[in-house]
Amino acid sequence: MTRSYEQTCRIARALDVLGERWTLLIVRELALGPRRYGDLLADLPGMGTSLLAARLRHLERYDVVRRTVLPGPGRAAGYELGDRGTALTPLLASLVEWGGGLAPPPPGSFDRAAWTMLAMRLTAPGEAVDFDTVTEIAVDGETLWLQGDGERVRLETGPAPVKPGLRLTSGRATFQALATGRTTVDDAMASGELAVQGDADRARLFFDLFSLTNPSPTHGR
C-alpha cells in the first residue's frame, strides 16, 4: 500500500504509519475536534483533495482516525480521532516542544490561533486540567473555546457550546505575544489590544497556566 521501511524497529514502524507528508497535520487538526472533509481541506492549504482522501483512509485502518456523525442539526458526516489517534498526544507535545526551539517562522506563513492554543494546551502543566471556566477566545474573527474538566483540557474550534465564563478578544499579534509571555494581560488590556469579558483574574490565570514558556520545561530525559 504505502511505502514501508520494512524494519522491526518501533520508530520505523510508527513512521510507516505517520511519517508521510501531511499525516501528522491531519492528526493535529482533528486534535482540535471533529471536522468535516471540506474543513480539513481548507485548513491544510496546499494539500490536494485526492491525497487527503487517501490519507484519511490510511489512518482509518489504524484507528488513528475514525468516521463519525457530527453533533448538531444536519447529521453531517465527519472525522474524529480514534483511540490510536488520541494516543498521539505525547508525540504532538514533543513536536511542539522541539519546534519551539526553531527560528521564528517567515512572514506570510499561514497562521491560526487554534494552532497556537493547541500548542499551549499540549505543553501546559498538569494543573491546567483544573481550569474549569468555559473560555472562549476570539482572535481576528477566529473563535475557539476550551475548558478543563479535572481530567484533561478540552479544546475545540468554533464558538463555545454554552455561555462562556470568560471571553478573550484580540488580534493575532497580541494573542501571540500573550501566548509566549512577551506581554501581560494587564498591559494588553490597558492598551486596548485585549478585551476581557469576565473575571480579569481568571484571564491572568489562564495565560499563567497555558503560556508557551520558551525555553521549555524540559520533560523527558
Binding site for a second copy (CB under 8 A): 5-15, 17-21, 24-25, 28, 45-46, 62, 84, 87-102, 105-106, 108-112, 115-116, 119, 122, 126, 129, 152, 219-221
Compute the least distance from the CB of residue 194 to DNA, in Å.
32
Phi, psi of 81 (to 5 degrees): -70, 140
What is each CA distance from 43 to 22, 25, 89, 111, in whole angstroms?
11, 10, 20, 10
Number of residues that bind DNA (CB under 7 A): 21
Residue pair 110/142 in contact by the 8 Å Cβ criterion? no
Number of neighbouring beta carbons within 10 Å of residue 112 = 17
What is each CA distance from 41 to 16, 36, 106, 107, in whole angstroms?
23, 9, 23, 22
Compute the least distance from the CB of residue 179 to a second copy, in Å.
11
Sole window of 35-43, 130-138, 183-191, 212-220 interacting with DNA (rule: CB under 7 A): 35-43
Q: Name the residue with cell 521549555.
A: 216
Of 70 and 95, which has the nearer Cβ to DNA? Answer: 70
Find the binding residues for DNA in span 55-114 (CB under 7 A). Answer: 56, 76-78
- Give the three-class secondary structure for 197: strand
Q: Which residues contact DNA (rule: CB under 7 A)?
A: 2-3, 20-22, 36-39, 46-51, 53-54, 56, 76-78
